[in-house]
Chains A and B, each alone.
Chain A
Amino acid sequence: MSTAAVHSLWTTASDPIAKIGAPKIEYGQLSPTLIVVGAAVVGVLVEAFVPRKSRYYAQVFVAVVALCAAFAAVVALAADGYGTTKARIAAMGAIAVDGPALFLQGTILLAGLVALFTFAERRLDPAAHGNRVDSFAAQAASVPGSDSEKAAVKAGFTTTEVFPLLLFAIAGMLIFPAANDLLTLFVALEVFSLPLYLMCALARRKRLMSQEAAVKYFLLGAFASAFTLFGIALLYGYAGSVSYGTIAQVVEGTIPNVDPALADTMGNDALLLIGAALVVMGLLFKVGAIPFHMWTPDVYQGAPTPVTGFMAAATKVAAFGALLRLLYVILPGLRWDWRPVMWAVAIITMLGGAIVAITQTDIKRLLAYSSIAHAGFILAGVIATSKDGVSSVLFYLAGYSFVTIGAFAVVTLVRDAGGEATHLSKWAGLGRRSPLVAAVFAVFLLAFAGIPLTSGFAGKFAVFKAAAEGGAAPLVVIGVISSAIAAFFYIRVIVLMFFSEPRPEGPTVAVPSPLTMAAIAVGVAVTLVLGVAPQYFLDLASQAGVFVR
């Protein structure tokens, strides 16, 4: 390598010091993220300075206010036209403020708020030594089964740190679909992943399983991040920039001037293809597409159920948002290269998720495989590479996330002496004992299965329609077949709940506080509204379907 090839960054020192302009930050346009980050920092301070007794209330208060304020900011930005006419790239090219970003941020914030309700639930677990406790470990650092754990339980400790962790995760997720350069993308990925790894380890019961899940998630997540980072490096080598816009221009060949420092690599298509494939792989890992899905069932099962619900909903929204932006902004010029590969991924994801779910016996694992199958359905919309494809994916994500959180919230209610009774055999005859809970869960299952008059139908219909119009008709056929396979195991749970004899030693359905009730009610309401009158929201998603470049 010649000395000239050394990147100019290293040589600036010898030049006369150029005046470095202060970066221009559009605080107003970034306000949703900034509010959540700020609140998360406040949450950390609350942990440090507020007495243990009032921490829970302070944390819940801070988190609710922050999420509501951030959502209000998103709505204000959208109302101001940032979703459509005034869409722009802010923060020196790092963050896009456009329709998809705002729509997904709004979805993440609302889903986060509903998930927060399930996090804050303290009536389900029987009170330990007179203290109301939530689903999280008394003291995360104490070894399971040790004396210090017993002492922590006896003292009535709760891990209120989950609230700032939740806010940090949400903040990362807000940036993720809006990230407009690869470094921001990677930073956002880590910002939301690390709190998730931690939260997965915090279950109050079955702690070893929870910690195992967290370690697995962390190891595999780190592995996937490494691939992503490697891909980013290759893309930088290809384009001489990490900015989406610039890479896209290089792909299209509209930037002829080659950076002399990168003359050897720039424009080398092998770098582009490998780099793009690796970055996409990192995102496919996050959405749980096959063959990068192996973590999903184990982690969904081991993590505290509220965390599972949040993760299943919000991570998927954020990661699909980032995937859409990557494929639609950087890689439209490469469509003919990545589409066949994504076809294959979508097909095995749909079929694999649906088929393996058939033999699951644990409700959380069943929902995990169901989420894998859904990732496949959404991928079908992504592959459409049209404006309709974007808006159908946005709509699908909005409907899906509330169904998911609601369904996992119902899972937290069905309990026996060992905590949540997640084995399917224990759900037999639930409809006789608690018709309302079983009926609500049945609504969610029907929505997952995509039965008309639920959001699942409207969403599935939208993505399949977009895929068919985008020339992916065989994909739609396989999608419908997978839906039929998937309907089998969803309906089987309904049959189990309503048409089987209840077991004598079966679980009881705990009466939750209004928090969980609200989460479930929102889930049902969104499911039905998006199912009965989807048009307004489809229009909204359609308006938000254009990426800024």
Chain B
Amino acid sequence: MENLIALLIAAPLLGAALLLTGGRRLDSVGHWIGTLLSATSFVFGVILFADLLGKDAEHRTLTQHLYTWVPVESFQADVTFRLDQLSMTFVLLITGVGSLIHLYSVGYMEHDERRRRFFGYLNLFLAAMLLLVLADNYLLLYVGWEGVGLASYLLIGFWQHKPSAATAAKKAFLVNRVGDMGLSIAIMLMFTTFGTFAFGPVLGSVGDASEGKLTAIGLMLLLAACGKSAQVPLQSWLGDAMEGPTPVSALIHAATMVTAGVYLIVRSGAIFNAAPDAQLVVTVVGAVTLLFGAIVGCAKDDIKKALAGSTMSQIGYMILAAGLGPIGYVFAIMHLVTHGFFKAGLFLGAGSVMHGMNDEVDMRKYGGLRTYMPITFVTFGLGYLAIIGFPFLSGFYSKDAIIEAAFAKGGTQGWILGGVALLGAAITAFYMTRVMLMTFFGEKRWQPDENGNEPHPHESPSVMTIPMIVLAVGSVGAGFFFHLGDRFLNWLEPVTGHEEGNSPVGAGAITAATLVLLVVGAGIAYLQYGRKPVPVTAPRGSLLARAARRDLLQDDFNHVVLVRGGEHLTRSLVYVDHTLVDGVVNGTAASFGGLSGRLRRLQNGFARSYAVSMFGGAALLVAATLLMRAV
């Protein structure tokens, strides 16, 4: 059974290889090959899942050792996979939701002439993400981590003819590099501390390391997680990443990429548990991002960017939960899975709307679409209800659990974190209701574009709606299914550990407060966007709204602090480099070059002088050998 693990990764990898090297002859079938191989991987995942379920909870870890890449003493670069409950959860999410997104893309990308290449990249993305969650050591995880970075770069910039897309791809890649640096430093620190980077030995011997080192490792891991999961301060790439085709957004936001950071923190739980300071920083990052994303989401008129803000905020919830330690790990992952369903559904719904609206993304030019696109409306609506935490839908269970856990942190910290999480729930209700109302309700506001083409909103083909329906079912039922009999908790606990928190506030009170805030948030949105007609051009708005539209000035901040500061730093470095380093390097190079030129003259082309050199060499050889004996 273990041998199936490599096949999980091999299937999409094969797809990527076939599609990217196969050339035009695969154009007509490429998308189906990609979808089929992704689905194959899902089937392998289900088989392995069934196998794991058949075992005791304690024996649900499978490992497969493929080979060792150049073993050097204790530096064992093993290519080993580890499948336990945590990675299994991710595998099913990645391949399941990923396959649905593949299927959807068959319709969405139908008119794109580079569709084959697009599917190749999608498969590459899946393979890299699977490698990331299946690795048994941090080094191999890093390979997957970088692979995800590469695939996201290729996909975000897929429409490279648009300068904005090319820039967005570069931005995502560069911001991610900052996080990657954190991961590589963390891995080096681990190697110097523990002498290995395999999960088992590292996480098992946490007790031997000093807290200072563990805090350093934890903070570096957090930096890495911030990059991939778009957490403050490395959040700026996420909004721009919307330049990619919509299925890519769905894939990045729901099943892959942004979940990688949460995975990393939960997987490294043992390190964070032993480094409370690092843990506190994790919760702070989560809480700040949670509000940051929610506020940005409130102000955006671009439907995808509004959803992107929402993703940032929801991942903030997960990071917050992961920072809470054993009381939060399980809920972080549970919210990750339910979020995977409804966020994928929402993005695919948004894509479906755009598909029917000539790729218009401004919600102010939508309105009243529910009658034109009934299936999209219903599936999007269910996703909406799930994300705001409507009772008994997916988000209700997973988000409530996180809010409770935040309160259970205890003390002032608990109150602050819990309060922020509650506030976030209210804002979530506000911005999601806003999206819903502006898109599907009210008057139709679309107009012919400058070429006189009026959009004719229509329902998308069934190849696109079927994945949306499946995801809607998940959005509705997954939370309840996981909650029933604490299924998810029991499943994941052996890996992540779990402690019941002692919340100073009763669970009932928290749920009630959440529901009240939900109604308040949705109500305000209704008053603002449901009762009054939505203006086609955005009003000037308050200072906060204007700042939020500019992503709370994240880019201005980055520009002033990082870009300017960086320019000054590079200028001074360039000066040092030119005068000092280049002097040494060029000097060395010149001396070798000169030596080379002189030695070269010995090679004069005459066989006689070659023979002399051989004779001299032989004489020296003999003389030296005899001399060695003599001394």
Contact = CB atoms under 8 A, between A and B. Distances in A.
A277 B628 CA distance: 12
Chain A interface size, under 10 / 10 to 19 / 20 to 34 / 35 or more: 35 or more
Name the prevailing secondary structure of the B interface residues. helix
Contacts of B610: 216, 220, 294-295
Contact of A277 (B600, B603, B607, B621): B621
B65 to A, nearest CB: 11
B611 to A, nearest CB: 5
Contacts of B68: 535
A277 B622 contact: yes
A270 B624 CA distance: 12
B60 to A, nearest CB: 29
Given A341-B624, A359-B597, A281 B618 contact: yes
A533 B67 contact: yes
Contacts of A290: 617
Interface string B591-611: 011011101101101010111
Contacts of B617: 281, 290-292
B309 to A, nearest CB: 40
Given A278-B618, A344-B624, A269 B607 contact: no
Interface in B569-624: 589, 592-593, 595-597, 599-600, 602-603, 605, 607, 609-611, 613-614, 616-618, 620-622, 624
Contacts of A215: 607
Interface in A238-291: 269-270, 273-274, 276-278, 280-281, 285, 290-291
Contact of A535 (B71, B607, B618, B622): B71
B626 interface: yes
Contacts of A277: 618, 621-622, 625
A220 B593 contact: no
A321 to B, nearest CB: 20
B592 A458 contact: no
Interface in A304-356: 336-338, 340-341, 344-345, 352, 355-356
B611 A223 contact: yes
Interface in B51-74: 67-72
Contact of A534 (B70, B614, B626): B70
Contact of B625 (A220, A337, A488, A534): A337
Contacts of B621: 277-278, 280-281, 341, 345
Q: Looking at B71, B72, B600, B613, which has the most chain A CB atoms within 10 Å of its CB? A: B600
Contacts of A278: 618, 621-622
A534 B609 CA distance: 42
A223 B486 CA distance: 86
Contacts of B622: 273-274, 277-278
Contacts of A224: 614
B451 to A, nearest CB: 37
B607 A359 contact: no
Contact of B607 (A220, A356, A533, A536): A220
Contacts of A273: 622, 625-626, 629
A415 to B, nearest CB: 25
A267 B602 CA distance: 40
6 contacts: A224-B614, A285-B614, A337-B625, A338-B625, A338-B628, A458-B70
Given A292-B613, A294-B602, 5 more contacts: A294-B614, A338-B625, A340-B624, A341-B621, A357-B596
- Listed from nearest, the 7 A-B pairs whose CB atoms lie closest are A291-B617, A294-B610, A358-B596, A359-B596, A277-B625, A277-B622, A216-B607
Interface of A: 215-216, 219-220, 223-224, 227, 269-270, 273-274, 276-278, 280-281, 285, 290-292, 294-295, 297-298, 336-338, 340-341, 344-345, 352, 355-360, 458, 461, 465, 485, 488, 532-536
